[in-house]
Amino acid sequence: MRKLAGRWVRFVVLFAALALLLTMSPPPSATADTVLPPAPGVVTVSQRPTMVIAAWAAVEGASGYAIELDTLPSFSAPRRILTADTISLLTGLTPETGYYLRIATWADDPNTLGEWSSLYMFTTGAREFAMLPPVVTTESLTSTSITAEWKDLGEDLTYEAAIGENPDDLTDPKPAKKLTSTFDELKKVTKYYVSVRAVNAAGEPVTAWSDPVAQKTAKELPLRVGSYNILCENCSGGKAKWASRRGALVETIQDQDLDVLGVQEASIGSIPGGGAQYMDLINRLGSPYKLTEYGRKTSPDVRIIYNAKRLELVKQGTIALPRGNSARFLGWAIFEQKSSGKKFFFTNTHLEPKDGKKFWNTRNRQTSAIISATKRLAGELPVISVGDYASTKWDDPSNRPYDLMQAAGYKDPLGNAARSHNSAPGAFVEKRINTSYASYNMYQRKARNFAGDVNGSNTDYIFVSEMRVPEYEVVVKVNSAGQFVGVIPSDHNLIRATVLLP
């Protein structure tokens, strides 16, 4: 009995010792052989009324850093940011408030951190102005530019914008145009910071600089392409004079920030005051837009306009199509996208618009000629074919040009098949904007909107070979009643797609 009791005592003692050892063991996430990079040695902290910028030297072996911010040194409810950079911007702070900041590293797993750095205490400054600064949004529309936008804070105010690679050292502030500012000639794939402030008529600041907004320039960018029948000067019987609508038309094109645009009915005929309509258009668009083909007789009706800052013109030409009631042409060009180095084949056309069986057959022959020329000239290049095909999904007996293009591998991203209403078979566009509006507005003040349908009735198309199409828009400026606002630029609406070259 004594032996059994002694054994029991020894068992209890051993069990207690084992339990004590287990309580002294490190947690599973921090094994004895885990070696994590040390915390940054010196951290530079720079604060403003509503933000702080922390910067430090890179730590060898660190995959990233965790920054914690709290108003208490205990960090009981910290705000944590994870980053791979060695500079971090924390906004939305309260003016005249004390904060504590610390940084740790991680190697492979951001949930397993090394030791924290020393605590850095700072106090945000007092708000300097009665008005809050603008709230700024940014985007990189090209690989070497960043555009900033903001809302107006009040009448009689203008704005200044500044940019830099360090959020605490934004240089070269410049006056902004309206409520936007674009910074050009930047480095590709580089993070920049943009800040804006408001100034009064005397040039004195009335707000502090806004919190810097981080924006990285793109490696390569989507391509913005369009098609626009601009209505020739003499085609409306004098009802829609070029002089009265060219300003609205130019503004519509510029607002879409296109890389390449096919225009139809860009007349070679003289306009009042002299010169041809198509040359007046390109002159008013101004830099960086250029025409691929200046010859008056080679393509009397179709023109290709491109953004020379973003695209390099490699080759160009014009092909006569089978004649209908009048001469018809295909304009084509090979471009190189400067941001990616990728080439693509672009065509623009305006098919025979006359009605009747005879001209239905003419459009079919013209489309077949376009397909044949494209196959021969494009080779293996991606293809974007735009234009006014003078044929809709309601045509009798069929929308044959559309069907021919689809069968040849040049697809309509909208999937606007014959007589389709609230469905879009074959569609692959990712985002639609106003695609229920018809591309042909007939100069009616009430915009032609097939409400409830996925697509409107189009005579104008953007066909593409195999590629992603993130966005497609029928460009209309209408009020809540569905009526066009201001001058109607043309009897067609501009159509625009954003594509990604394969």
* Same domain? 248 vs 382: yes
Question: What pLDDT does 18 receive?
Answer: 43
Residue 354, Cβ density class (10 Å: 0-12 exposed, 13-18 middle, ≥19 buried): middle
Question: What pLDDT does 16 receive?
Answer: 46
Question: What pLDDT does 31 receive?
Answer: 45
Question: What pLDDT does 290 receive?
Answer: 96
Mean pLDDT calculated for residue range 285-303: 79
Mean pLDDT of the chain: 89
Point out the domain boundary residue: 99, 123, 147. 123
Question: What pLDDT does 418 receive?
Answer: 87
Question: What pLDDT does 34 receive?
Answer: 66
* Same domain? 346 vs 457: yes
Tell me if 346 is assigned to some domain: yes
Tell me if 129 is assigned to some domain: no
Point out the domain boundary residue: 93, 123, 153. 123
Tell me if 12 is assigned to some domain: no
Question: What pLDDT does 267 receive?
Answer: 85
Q: What does pTM read for this prediction?
A: 0.65
* Same domain? 163 vs 239: no
* Same domain? 379 vs 306: yes
Tell me if 345 is assigned to some domain: yes
* Same domain? 188 vs 286: no
Which helix or strand (DSSP H or E) is residue 4 part of? helix 2-24
| Among 425, 429, 428, 405, residue whose Cα is nearest residue 417 | 425
* Same domain? 110 vs 141: no
Picking from 56-60, 262-266, 324-328, which range would have the lowest pLDDT averaged per residue?
Answer: 324-328
Question: What pLDDT does 173 receive?
Answer: 87
Question: What pLDDT does 140 receive?
Answer: 84
* Same domain? 162 vs 261: no
Question: What pLDDT does 130 receive?
Answer: 84
> Is the per-residue pLDDT at 32 higher than 50?
no
> Is the per-residue pLDDT at 8 higher than 60?
no
Amino acid at 128: E
Give the model confidence (pLDDT) of 163-201 as tens digits: 999 998 887 788 997 899 999 889 989 999 999 999 998
Q: Where residue 378 sits, what CATH number does that domain have?
A: 3.60.10.10
* Same domain? 464 vs 333: yes
% the chain with pLDDT above 70: 91
Q: Rounded CA gap, 366 and 330, in Å?
A: 9
Question: What pLDDT does 177 receive?
Answer: 78
**Torsion angles phi and psi, residue 13, rounded to 5:** -65, -45
**And the tokens for 346?**
């672009």
Question: What pLDDT does 172 receive?
Answer: 75
Mean pLDDT calculated for residue range 344-360: 93
* Same domain? 185 vs 55: no
Tell me if 49 is assigned to some domain: yes
Tell me if 20 is assigned to some domain: no
Give the model confidence (pLDDT) of 269-289 as tens digits: 778 887 889 999 999 999 999
Give the model confidence (pLDDT) of 40-85 as tens digits: 999 999 998 999 999 999 999 999 999 999 999 999 999 999 999 9
In the numeric block, the tokens 């828009």 are attached to 473
Tell me if 34 is assigned to some domain: no
In this structure, how many other beta carbons lie within 10 angstroms of the beta carbon of residue 387?
A: 25
21 pLDDT band, cuts 50/70/90, is very low
Burial 76-110 (b: 16+ CB within 10 A, else e): eebeeeeeeebbbbbeebeeeeebbbbbbbbbeeb
Point out the domain boundary residue: 216, 242, 267. 216
Q: Where residue 165 sits, what CATH number does that domain have?
A: 2.60.40.10
* Same domain? 404 vs 269: yes
Q: Which domain holds residue 476?
A: 223-500
Give the model confidence (pLDDT) of 388-428 as tens digits: 999 999 998 999 999 999 999 999 999 998 888 888 889 99
* Same domain? 153 vs 169: yes
Tell me if 352 is assigned to some domain: yes
Question: What pLDDT does 59 receive?
Answer: 96
**And the tokens for 437?**
């509006």
* Same domain? 390 vs 288: yes
> Is the per-residue pLDDT at 106 higher than 60?
yes
> Is the per-residue pLDDT at 295 higher than 90?
no
Mean pLDDT calculated for residue range 118-124: 95
% the chain with pLDDT above 90: 71
> Is the per-residue pLDDT at 143 higher than 90?
no
Burial 42-74 (b: 16+ CB within 10 A, else e): ebeeebbbbbbbbbbeebeebebbbbbbbeeee
Number of domains in the chain: 3
> Is the per-residue pLDDT at 9 higher than 80?
no
